Amino acid sequence: MKYTVLYFSLLCLVGCTPVLKMLYGIKPPKIENKETLTEYMVKLKMEQQNVYALTFDEFKPSLKHIKNSVPDVLIFNSQGEYIPYGDEYACNAHAFDFIEKLNRNSVYTTSDKLDMATISKGLCNLDGGMVEEPISKNIDFYVFIYWAKWAGKLNKDHVLVWEKQAIENRNANIKVITVNVDSQAFWGSGNLKKLGF
């Protein structure tokens, strides 16, 4: 009861956003690199296959694709067509049910607002090296999960759940692609200064 009163008092004094950030462990962004991200993924028990970062030039466009929402998820069919889920303007809560119910025998509405080629354009490995579009044979769906180290507990509550749902889905072959959206050391000091570092 004492903690409930404390949280309510904090909400009244400073609003919900700072309190939610504190409760979810959301921190100010830092400059990350392959070592810090790998260490974090091991600690969190995230999958370490198909993990990418973004080039500096594609960082801001990619954030627009996910409506500046981190973590977030984008889903594509085997032809690279975007499959919207839930309300276009809602949060990503609908993704939880959607991923675990993906089925190779179902027909999904697609949207031409986005495609996998566009999303893949700025992908690079965690060292900054360019990579090819992550197309694979015998894949029914591609689930792109966008995450950041600074997002704190949201990675555990969202990213790990989405990964698990995709991996354990027995009704479709799903390739999970995790995209880190932290600021990267390999972008160089000039580009990082543009972001306020």
Per the DSSP assignment, residues forming a β-bridge with 52 are: 179
Per the DSSP assignment, residues forming a β-bridge with 176 are: 143
- Which pLDDT band holds residue 1 (cuts at 50, 70, 90)? very low
- Which pLDDT band holds residue 132 (cuts at 50, 70, 90)? confident
**What pLDDT sits at residue 77?**
97
DSSP class of residue 109 equals: -
Burial class (CB in 10 A: 0-12, 13-18, 19+), 84: middle
User: Which pTM value belongs to this model?
Assistant: 0.86
Q: What is the mean pLDDT of residues 49-68?
A: 94
- Which pLDDT band holds residue 136 (cuts at 50, 70, 90)? confident
